[in-house]
Every structure is written in C-alpha cells, then in structure tokens.
C-alpha cells in the first residue's frame, strides 16, 4: 500500500505545531496502525530526521496509551477498537491519513502525538478508590451480589482511561471516564460506604482540571474502545444529586 500521512508535529508545549506530510510506501494491510507508524519512524531516522513521538505500551488494547485522532476520529474508523488494534486493511491504497493528538485543554501536548493525561490520575487520586479496611480476602460467597448489578459494575470497570471520550466530546468532557470509575465502585457493596463522598470529590476534581460539562451528545460512547455506556453518566448525575442533598442536610 502507498499512503500519504499528514502528521501533527510539535516540539514541546510552547511550540505552535503544524501538520507535516510524509509519503509512505510498502505498507502491509496486515500491519497495525502503530506498526505503520514504526515504519514511518524508521524512514525518518534513516533520513536523519526526528521520529514522530507517540504513546504506546501493551499493543493489545488494554493499557489505553495509544491515543491518536485518525482522520478526525478517536482511535480511527473502527468501532470498539484502540489504535494499536486498528489494522491498515481498514484503509485503501493511496489514502490520505491525518494523524493528530487528543485535543483538550486538560490534555496539553507534550510532543507530537503525546499528550499529558495526568489529569485522569488526579481525578482517581481525589477519591476513585475504596479506603475501607476490609481485612483479608473474604470468601467469594460472603457478599452475595445480584448478577445484574455485578455485570453493570464490571462493564464500567472495563474503562482503560484512554481519553477517547474527552477527545471525541465537543465540550472536552471526561464524564464518561468519571462515571465509569464512580459506577464500578459505587454499585458494589465494598464501595457503597463512600459512595456520596467519592462522587462529590471526583466531580470537583474533574472541574478543577478544566474538562467541560456533559451536554448528552453521546459522542463519547461512540468513540469509546470498550463501549462504555452513557447510562453510567445518568447514574453519576443521580449519585451527585444525592451526595449534594446529603451534604446540605449535614
């Protein structure tokens, strides 16, 4: 395959950045998108140029670090697919492909396609955990949990924190990420004790980081590689209202 890549190049946070065009030949349809980027970087290194910086780790769709906007779509054209799982057979010979970083104030560009996503870490640090001392691991049948509740909680726990929801949202909201973290803890008995305090503190941190607010466009669900449902955002809103009311009573 012959491709023409239009890649965002930016030296650092203060550099204005620009799109640079690179012709690429000999791309196999069986390559993943990241393997194709590796081929591009080998070509650039041989030419004495600076390779394109991009994040990657597991290359198995688990870590969520391979964050790229590909032709204006988070992680590319395939649904429920991370960039590392996207294969070049999704494109045609002669295609023009635009590759850019996530675009959000809370995700400043570090270099080229790499962005700083530590805002997500700070949201988790605000209260995205269970701090109750539960002692040793209990027997699996000690806490009976309805199957429907367990399934919803585990669906929410699939979130890999890639940030596609933020990149796809016109408001740059992280509500899908936030709601998934709140939901998978709050729906289970182990996390129920701190449910109200958790949602309040995590939402406050979300707003401090500069993420936008949700206006129910649902683009986040469409872009999510794990297909996290926006129903979790509805649950987040209910929990937040309940948390606000309970704090006012106190």
Dump pLDDT digits (tens) for 125-174: 999 998 876 667 777 677 788 999 999 999 999 999 999 999 999 999 99
Q: What percent of the chain has pLDDT over 90?
A: 86
Strand partners, 250: none
- ∠ at Cα 122 (120, 124), nearest 5°? 75
Torsion, Cα of 182, 184, 188, 193 (10° steps): -20
Report the number of distinct structural domains present in the chain.
2
- Is the pLDDT confidence value at 64 over 90? yes
Q: What is the pLDDT of residues 168-193, one digit of tens each?
A: 999 999 999 999 999 999 998 888 88
Cβ contacts of residue 29 below 8 Å, gap of 6+? 1, 87, 88, 89
> What percent helix, strand, coil does the chain show, rounded to 5?
40, 15, 45
| CATH number of the CATH domain containing 146 | 1.10.1060.10
Domain boundary among 110, 138, 172: 110
Q: Given 110, 135, 150, which residue is the final one in a domain?
A: 110
* Largest distance between two CA atoms of the chain: 67
- CATH at 65: 3.10.20.30
> Which domain range does residue 43 map to?
3-110
Instruction: Tell me if 113 sits within 8 A of 76, measured CB to CB.
Output: no
pTM: predicted TM-score of the whole model, two decimal places = 0.92
- Residues 58 and 91 both lie in one domain: yes
Q: Are residues 105 and 122 in the same domain?
A: no
Q: Are residues 124 and 73 both part of a single domain?
A: no
**Domain end (from 110, 128, 151):** 110
105 and 140 share one domain:
no
């Amino acid at each position: 395959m012959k491709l023409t890549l239009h890649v965002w190049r930016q030296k650092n946070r203060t550099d204005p950045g620009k799109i640079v065009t690179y012709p690429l030949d000999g791309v196999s349809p069986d390559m993943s998108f990241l393997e194709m980027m590796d081929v591009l970087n080998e070509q650039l290194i041989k030419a004495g140029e600076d390779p394109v910086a991009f994040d990657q780790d597991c290359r198995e769709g688990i870590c969520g670090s391979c964050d790229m906007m590909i032709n204006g779509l988070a992680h590319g054209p395939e649904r429920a697919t991370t960039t590392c799982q996207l294969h070049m057979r999704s494109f045609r010979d002669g295609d023009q492909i635009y590759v850019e970083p996530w675009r959000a104030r809370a995700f400043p560009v570090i270099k080229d396609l790499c962005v700083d996503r530590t805002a997500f870490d700070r949201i988790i640090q605000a209260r995205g955990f269970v701090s109750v001392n539960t002692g040793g691991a209990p027997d699996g049948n000690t806490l009976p949990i309805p199957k429907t509740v367990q399934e919803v909680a585990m669906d929410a726990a699939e979130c890999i924190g890639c940030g596609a929801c933020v990149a796809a949202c016109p408001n740059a909201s992280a509500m899908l990420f936030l709601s998934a973290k709140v939901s998978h803890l709050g729906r289970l008995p182990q996390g129920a004790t701190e449910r109200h305090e958790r949602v309040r503190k995590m939402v406050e941190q979300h707003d401090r980081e500069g993420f936008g607010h949700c206006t129910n466009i649902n683009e986040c669900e469409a872009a999510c590689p794990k297909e996290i449902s926006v129903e979790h955002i509805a649950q987040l809103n209910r929990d937040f209202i309940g948390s606000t009311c309970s704090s006012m009573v106190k």
